[in-house]
Amino acid sequence: MPLRRFWLSCVGCVLLVSLLWGCALPQVRAEDRLFLNVTVEYRGELSLPAGTLVEGTVVGGLSGLTYDPQQQQFYAISDDRQQPRFYGLALSLPSAVSTHEGAIEPKFVTFLTQANGDLYPANTADTEGIGLTPDGRLMISSEGVTATSSLPWIKEFALNGQQERALPIPAYYLPEETGQKGIRNNLGFEALTLSPAGDRLFVGVESALSQDLHPNEPIYCRLLHYLRGDVLPVLLAEHVYPLDPAPAGSIANGLVELLALDNGGHFLSLERTYSPQNGYGIKLFEMSLAGATDTLGMATLPVGLSSLQPVRKRLILDLKTLGIPLTNLEGMALGYPFADGSRSLWIIGDNNFDAQIPTQVLVFRVQCC
């Protein structure tokens, strides 16, 4: 190339770079790159009267929800310690008018059985989380029952309720009689979700393990991450989830549900508080595992987390802003799509078998990406 042409090319490149550098390129915050920027739109409420019976059982205590696209129905786990079971539910969407109620129709009940085929004895399981795998199995978690020294567990079941396998749990999750270690009473494996591909399972405790609880310090929950497939499930990692502080006067505060949005580590999380004065507080967050420290094997978290990076989250919706009475909302699932193709989000309430409180389900339209 002649020397003059070479220098002209160089000058042209410099001018082009300068022009591009001076353009007003859109500024993207680091936080925006972490999340899918999910938005939700409230679409209505469903309600099932307290005391509704199915095959001689009271439909209540529904603390977890999952959707079966093949059967076009939902499965809801009941936390009745006397008879661990799940229900098949048909949930109809409210009309376009957001104040119109849809319907909850219980279809059947299935009792959980142990590996030997026997029903679970009373007060040995407190089932809270449920998720359906692509191959038609149910992942279910139990908080355990302190009164009978029944340990918490995470297990896989067939759709007929038969237990098929139990997943490994780190020893530091198992409660001790001293109360100095492990899952605290009624604050165990509450949140459970599967990735859309079904090869990853995530299970979270409702509140801090005993050894991670410190006065006047933030509360950090732990999340377990499993790999599942043709072989036995393998525990891959553990992450720390920062729980929002509870309002003054609250007597309950916890992480009650997780919902995987994709196979890339993006989730919805649901937190619940309760105070006798103000009732239930429910917040919906978007959560990302990006950059979170793997704490698997760390029996006790350092005070203040030291250099550990917890999962990141951002508030999507404080449900109190909906202006409707809220009950003890604990379960969450994506369901069938709206007419425009957007996904429906269903959040279900655990009425604690209170004869005065119906089972509440709230429906949202979800948009993201």
Amino acid identity for residue 136 in this structure: G
Of 87-96, 109-118, 141-150, 170-179, give the lowest mean pLDDT range.
87-96
The residue among 298 and 97 whose pLDDT is bigger is: 298
Q: Three-state DSSP class for 182?
A: coil
Average pLDDT score over residue span 269-289: 97
Residues 61-83 pLDDT 10s: 999 999 999 999 999 999 999 99
Evaluate if residue 10 carries a pLDDT over 50.
Answer: no
Nearest Cα residue to 268 out of 156, 191, 201: 191
Of 99-113, 259-273, 348-362, give the lowest mean pLDDT range.
99-113
Cβ neighbours of residue 148 under 8 Å, at least 6 residues apart? 123, 124
Q: What local confidence, expressed as pLDDT, does residue 8 receive?
A: 43
Give the mean pLDDT of the chain: 91
Residues 216-249 pLDDT 10s: 999 999 999 999 987 789 999 999 999 999 999 9
Average pLDDT score over residue span 191-216: 97
Q: What local confidence, expressed as pLDDT, does residue 101 receive?
A: 58
Cβ neighbours of residue 87 under 8 Å, at least 6 residues apart? 54, 59, 62, 75, 76, 78, 106, 107, 108, 109, 110
Cβ neighbours of residue 310 under 8 Å, at least 6 residues apart? 220, 239, 240, 241, 242, 292, 293
Query: pLDDT band at residue 177, thresholds of 50, 70 and 90?
Result: confident
Evaluate if residue 39 carries a pLDDT over 90.
Answer: yes
Q: What is the DSSP letter of 230?
A: S
Give the strands of the sheet with 279-288, arranged side by side.
Answer: 252-260, 266-275, 279-288, 312-318
Q: What local confidence, expressed as pLDDT, does residue 13 receive?
A: 44
Q: What local confidence, expressed as pLDDT, does residue 324 receive?
A: 97
Q: What local confidence, expressed as pLDDT, does residue 25 receive?
A: 42
Evaluate if residue 26 carries a pLDDT over 50.
Answer: no
Average pLDDT score over residue span 106-133: 97
Q: What local confidence, expressed as pLDDT, does residue 29 receive?
A: 53
Parallel/antiparallel/unpaired status of strands 234-242 and 252-260: unpaired
Q: What local confidence, expressed as pLDDT, does residue 73 receive?
A: 97
pTM: 0.90
Q: What percent of the chain has pLDDT over 90?
A: 82
d(CA 239, CA 234): 15
1-23 b/e (C-beta count within 10 Å ≥ 16 → b): eeeeeeeeeeeeeeeeeeeeeee
Of 27-36, 100-109, 269-278, give the lowest mean pLDDT range.
27-36
Nearest Cα residue to 333 out of 368, 366, 288: 366
